[in-house]
Chain A
Amino acid sequence: VRFTTVNWQAELYIMSGTVLLKDEVTTLEHSTLKVPYEILNKKFRASQKALDRDLSHVTTATQELLSCAGKGEASAAEAASSLEGVVQKLLSLKRKAKECVDDELECARLCRVRIDHLKSYVSGEQTTGMKKAWRNERVNRMLVDHFLREGFYTSAVKLAHSSGVEDLVDIDIFLACQKVEEALRNHNTTPCLNWCYDNRSKLRRMKSMLEFEVRLQDFIELVRANKRIEAIKYARKHFTSSSDHPVKDIKSAMGLLAFSPTTTCKRYKRLFSESRWESLIAKFRRENFNLFQLSPQSVLSVTLQAGISALKTPQCYKPEEFNLQCPVCSKPFNELAHKLPFAHCSQSYLICAISGCPMNEHNPPMALPNGYVYGEQALKEMAAKNEGIVVCPRTKESFSFNEVKKVYVM
């Protein structure tokens, strides 16, 4: 169903007042700020746990002190040593508190650096040159982010370094991922399980199945190596009957014990397949994105698609209309743009084929008798050099300038 575009344009004007109109920064930069925020949050939770641990030590030591004081005839030495005990625990708490807060401050300062960077663009204090430089930096940031998501870690690091945007991109998170992924590629699940443990509270809140999938793979590998008794022990330890773990999958896995790795039975052959490792890597990547509230497609992808669509015209697909400067006319974008919608234009934009200049009130469009339209300036110039004769560049027909008629385009 093709709705008439006129209505939507009118709607937009009406709704502008009520809907918050967003600009480039607020549309594109959510993850730039959210990721360091999530890191801050994570550090905070870890700090709180550490402080509470130290607090319990202090409480224990204090109890000892109280019991010592409560005794009838406590010796001075005992009292002194109890006191010392409490002092030590207190000092440890003090140290821990300082360390934790320093870490948290660092995270918060990183947030601030990025906010400043974004603010500088919209504050209106930048010159045109500075704005251009900011936009170039944005392209580089998008590229680094895209490379990191796709797993091209070395290129990402190199580019971030050469364009000086290290503070503005989240390399560290992804480098941690790189280690996990490489290990998974070598069929080593330990780093991944460590990562799951590290982030267990958030993963649990997200109802993530990643840890189960990894343990399932471990189980499969044990069966593959014919260590079935160990496999059963492993299953007993890690596969619970709670609603966390899908019972169907556990049942299939148990069934695996009866088959050999070279089985041709389809269902179990799938479980033994090596490609499960690749899909584990993909699952891990997705969970990592979810952890930091990153969307599955990079900002580069989304922006690129919007941009190509806004530039796409039917003329881009006509070979005789090829324009070297138009991105959509270029081969790779031409192919990528096939499935994207065309740009919508509610007014005419005409370009003179001779001069490449716009045809507007300063350079009104003029129609030759053969129907082709060119700008008045170019035609006048041609007539001046050619004794009042104009030649149509497309058909090479000649006409007198007097035969050329003005066209009114609204």
Chain B
Amino acid sequence: MEACVTVEKECDKVLKKLASFSDLATSKLQTVVDEMTALKEEISAAPPGATISPVQAQSLRDLAKTVKEVAQGTSADHKDVHVVISKFGRAIDKNFQANINDLCVEGLLTTDENSRKLQKVLCEHLLREGKQEVSFCLMEEAGVSVDSDYMAQFSEMNRILEALRNRNLEPAIEWVEVHREELSSSGSTLEFKLHQLKLVSLLCSGRMSEAMAYARNMGRFTPTHTTEVKRLMGCFLFCRRGLECSPYSDLLDPGHWTDVADTFAKDACNLLGLSLESPLGVSLSTGCIALPQLLHLRSVMLQRQVSDIWNQDELACEVNLGWDRRYHSVFTCPILRQQTTDSNPPVRLRCGHSISKDAMKKLVTHSRRSLRRSLVCVMLAIKHSFTRTDFKHG
């Protein structure tokens, strides 16, 4: 924040200085011009063939001097403006990181193969975001192509999502009917939510008979959503009075519409084998969080003169991502502070504590004959009573 405020201050100074220069220069020049024009009028008023008087000659000389001063002054004043301009430039350099180039592997994304892959990723991202025209243009310019299936799937999904945003449930219901089997096998609640919303909106608009007919559809949801179906039937009692004063008023919450859209997006992506969020979007937002931390690391390392961070096989510092960006289980040994691998798996001691196998081996060797103690509690642990644990996701 201070960075932006500092730079903003300098920029304002530039704007101010430019404006004041403009006003001053214009007025000074105009004054001189007016004086000269006045003198010219006076001289021209004399009869033709006359000569100028000594007074006029003196005025001419004086004016000439003034003109020189003002004109040179204008140029010098303009030069002065450069002081604030360069101060502004220096403020930008001081407060913003100029060179982040070495925070990555050089030439990784510039090889032909990799740059084509990257361009394909960008095209797919644009399709996801609904920017079809730009995507086609990019495909042409970059000479890459994307699966036509992929494109078709996304355009259908975007179409249905658009309809849902406009509170039109029909396209979604059609889609759900086509994919009913796959959806139910994955335990999706989408169909029920759609029908529930439809029923509630019918009831709200007072179309009782239509709602009654529609309610017949809900029959097959009774085993899985008993309570909810009962509540929906209860809604019929309040149809005339309005659902707002019924105990079921929460069904009117507009949040249900966003919930349905989100559920649809999630289920559709699952079915199509696509990730919910654009991989490019997730990676970029992660990168935006990671870069400042890596930058910090680099500045620390430079002070200690160690070679670059990117040639190691693990990043040297932890990037704090929270739980949103965790897609795989990671187990870190609390003793050795290293991630476990296939050759160094996690093991569970009898006391229940889990450490890496290497750590356990170290504990064993350090107290061969004496009682092996767990790191945080005192307990017997015999060598063969550990079980290899697998924290796998999948």
Residue of B whose beta carbon sits closest to that of A43: B85
With A33-B96, A350-B329, A358-B323 known as contacts, the answer to whether A8 contacts B297 (CB < 8 A) is yes
Count residues of chain A with CB under 8 A from any CB of chain B: 155
Known: A26-B96, A80-B44. A307 touches B286 (CB 8 A): yes
Of all chain B residues, the one with the shortest Cβ separation from A90 is: B33
B323:A83 contact, CB within 8 angstroms: no
| Distance of A283 from chain B, by nearest CB (Å) | 15
A325 in contact with B287 (CB, 8 Å): no
Q: Let me know if A235 is at the binding interface, CB within 8 A.
A: no
Interface residues of B in 72-116 (CB under 8 A from A): 72, 74-75, 78-79, 81-82, 85-86, 88-89, 92-93, 95-101, 103-106, 108-110, 114-115
Complex A-B: 20 CB contacts under 8 Å: A9-B317, A12-B296, A15-B300, A55-B74, A59-B71, A62-B68, A76-B46, A76-B49, A79-B60, A82-B60, A93-B29, A155-B134, A302-B100, A306-B286, A307-B288, A308-B283, A323-B393, A340-B310, A341-B315, A351-B326
Residue on B nearest A293 in the bound complex, by CB: B98
Report A-chain residues with C-beta under 8 Å of the C-beta of B21.
101
Query: 14 extra interchain contacts, Cβ-Cβ under 8 A, other than A76-B46, A342-B313, A349-B329?
Result: A26-B95, A28-B100, A62-B67, A75-B52, A83-B40, A86-B64, A87-B36, A100-B78, A115-B11, A297-B109, A300-B284, A314-B339, A324-B270, A348-B391
Q: Are A74 and B57 in contact (CB under 8 A)?
A: yes
- Quick check: A305 and B287 within 8 Å, CB to CB? yes
A343 at the interface (CB under 8 A from B): yes
Please indicate the chain B residues that have their CB under 8 angstroms from the CB of A315 in the complex.
328-330, 392-393
- The answer to whether A299 touches B100, judged by C-beta atoms less than 8 angstroms apart, is yes
Complex alpha-carbon distance, A12 and B82, angstroms: 40
* Docked complex Cα distance between A152 and B123 (Å): 12
7 closest Cβ pairs, A-B complex:
A307-B287, A326-B327, A327-B279, A303-B287, A307-B286, A69-B60, A307-B283
Q: Are A332 and B121 in contact (CB under 8 A)?
A: yes
Which B299-323 residues sit within 8 Å CB-CB of chain A?
Answer: 299-301, 303-304, 306, 309-310, 312-319, 321, 323
- Docked-complex contact B275 and A324, CB < 8 angstroms: yes
Q: Are B315 and A351 in contact (CB under 8 A)?
A: no
Asked if residues B290 and A348 are in contact (CB atoms below 8 Å), the reply is no
In-complex Cβ contact of A302 among B12, B131, B281, B291 (8 A): B291
> A108-B11, A108-B14, A367-B387 are contacts. A295–B99 as well, Cβ < 8 Å?
yes
Return chain A residues, CB-CB under 8 Å to B275: 324-327, 330
Contacts of B25-50 to chain A: CB distance below 8 A: 25-26, 29-30, 32-33, 36-37, 39-40, 43-44, 46, 48-50
Interface segment, one of A34-42, A205-213, A261-269, A270-278: A34-42
Q: Cβ of B332 < 8 Å from any Cβ of A?
A: yes
Contact yes or no, B4 A305, CB < 8 A: no
Q: Of residues 57 to 80 in A, which have CB atoms within 8 Å of B's CB atoms?
A: 58-59, 62, 65-66, 68-70, 73-77, 79-80
Query: In the complex, are the beta carbons of A25 and B3 less than 8 A apart?
Result: yes
Contact of A350 (CB < 8 Å), options: B25, B289, B391: B391
Q: How far is the CB of A113 from chain B (nearest CB, A)?
A: 10
A175 in contact (CB, < 8 A): no
Within 8 A of A (CB), among B316-359: 316-319, 321, 323, 325-332, 334, 337-339, 341, 348, 351-354
A52 close to chain B: CB less than 8 A:
yes
Cross-chain contact of A332 among B60, B93, B117, B281 (Cβ < 8 A)? B117
Residues of A within 8 A of B71 (CB): 55, 58-59, 62, 90, 93
Alpha-carbon distance A3/B61, docked complex (angstroms): 80
Of B137-145, B176-184, B211-219, B225-233, the one contacting chain A is: B137-145
